[in-house]
Amino acid sequence: MILVGPDRIAEAQARIADRVRRTPLESSPSLSALSGAPVRLKLESHQLTGSFKLRGATNAVLSLSEEARQRGLVTASTGNHGRALAHAAKAEGVRAVVCMSALVPANKVEAVRALGAEIRIIGRSQDDAQEEVERLVRQEGLAAVPPFDHADVIAGQGTIGLEIAEAQPDTELVLVPLSGGGLAAGVAMAVKSRLPHARVIGVSMARGAAMSESLRAGRPVLVEEVETLADSLGGGIGLENRYTFAMCRDLIDDVVLLSEEEIAEGIRHAFAAEGETVEGAGAVGIAALLAGKVDVKGPTVVVVSGRNIDEALHRRIVSGGADETVSLGGPNP
Ligand SMILES: *Cc1c(COP(=O)(O)O)cnc(C)c1O
């Protein structure tokens, strides 16, 4: 069963073309030498708002009915999806409400507010924030736009895969960060529709990787959430998962898991060898190559998904501090 097919991704590409950046695909001499095949980086860290999430959020906003636009949008994400949705809604003059718990740090709250969203502080957990989302949907008719398990969001993220296939039709392998699976599902569907022989490998942190555990179990499962340097990869996939579990199960060829030290090495390498500031989640593809955990046989593209990392943490990591890997940040759905 095709849940979000190539046509839907091609439509998303046309719809969002003048709202998002077509990000650079840069060759990496150091990773190519290491891997023995050409390696290129798809730099979504250069995307507006600092992550690829703007693609899915923009496609979701532009796909709303006129009625839904009048009422507005709501989400509980305080991380890259929250930023992206705030930006996308503001660009279209649509109201966006972001619900968050009282425990969300002030700098994150301000980052989302600065992008024009209305902030609603509620309760003391992510679950409380999610309940408020559901209440606003029920009682005020707002449209919920979740961070990954939504057809328009997946189609938007898939536009990265189309750009890769168009720019680099000899691609044999794509490495994609994997959390809820919206990115991996969309990219895999797009890449495989254009390049049927290409492989797509998902990369997650070893601790608390919900999609990886779910794929192994054969159904969505809950995982305990732990702090990780790849904070944008935290969070569950939802026991009621509708799209991304099935798509990842059917389209992803393999999943690679990384230690915190390996992720730190990816961040360091991105900065020292590529001159790129990349957050933990964005560095996992690079880290997987550095760790020798991927069998590279031909032209390879690494999706570098975002750059939003705490500055002080980034400074510590690139200056060599490997011990403080999990001293900052936390679950960032
Ligand atoms: C959200 C996010 C991911 C993971 O995307 P999913 O669709 O949840 O798998 C990876 N990297 C960054 C920077 C993100 O913000």
Residues 135 and 233 in one domain: no
Which whole-number Å values give the CA distances from 51 to 85, 88, 124, 330, in the listed order? 11, 13, 27, 18
142 secondary structure, DSSP code: P
Ligand 1 near 184 CB (within 6 A): yes
Residues 58 and 45 in one domain: no
- CA 263 to centroid of ligand 1, rounded, Å: 15
Angle between helices 53-62 and 80-91 (to 10 degrees): 40
Q: For ligand 1, what atom is nearest to the CA of residue 307? A: 13
Residue 237 lies in a domain: yes
Q: What is the pLDDT of residues 215-258, one digit of tens each?
A: 999 999 999 888 999 999 988 999 999 999 999 999 999 999 99
- 323 pLDDT tier (thresholds 50, 70, 90): low
- Residue 97 lies in domain: 53-144
Would the CA dihedral through 129, 314, 180, 5 be positive or negative?
Answer: positive
Residues 136 and 154 in one domain: no
Q: How many residues does the chain have?
A: 333
Out of 144, 171, 198, a domain closes at 144
Residues 61 and 45 in one domain: no
Residues 131 and 167 in one domain: no
Residues 157 and 197 in one domain: yes
- CA 249 to centroid of ligand 1, rounded, Å: 17
Q: Which residues, including other chains, have CB under 8 Å from residue 295's CB and lie 6 or more apart?
A: none
Out of 110, 144, 178, a domain closes at 144
Ligand 1 near 179 CB (within 6 A): yes
Give the Cα separation of 159 and 163 in Å (integer).
6
Q: What's this model's pTM, rounded to 2 decimal places?
A: 0.94
Q: What is the pLDDT of residues 142-187, one digit of tens each?
A: 999 999 999 999 999 999 999 999 999 999 999 999 999 999 999 9
Q: Nearest 5°: CA angle at 234, between 232 and 240? A: 120
- 126 pLDDT tier (thresholds 50, 70, 90): confident
Q: How many domains does the chain have?
A: 2
Give the Cα separation of 49 and 38 in Å (integer).
29
Q: Is the pLDDT of residue 84 over 50?
A: yes
Q: Among residues 11, 19, 41, which one has the least CA distance to residue 177?
A: 41
Residues 132 and 155 in one domain: no
Out of 93, 118, 144, a domain closes at 144
- 78 pLDDT tier (thresholds 50, 70, 90): confident
Beta strands in the chain (DSSP E): 25-27, 39-43, 73-75, 96-100, 118-121, 143-144, 173-177, 199-205, 254-258, 300-304
Closest protein CA for atom 8 of ligand 1: 180
Residues 104 and 171 in one domain: no
- Domain CATH number, residue 321: 3.40.50.1100
Residue 332 lies in a domain: no
Residue 179 lies in a domain: yes
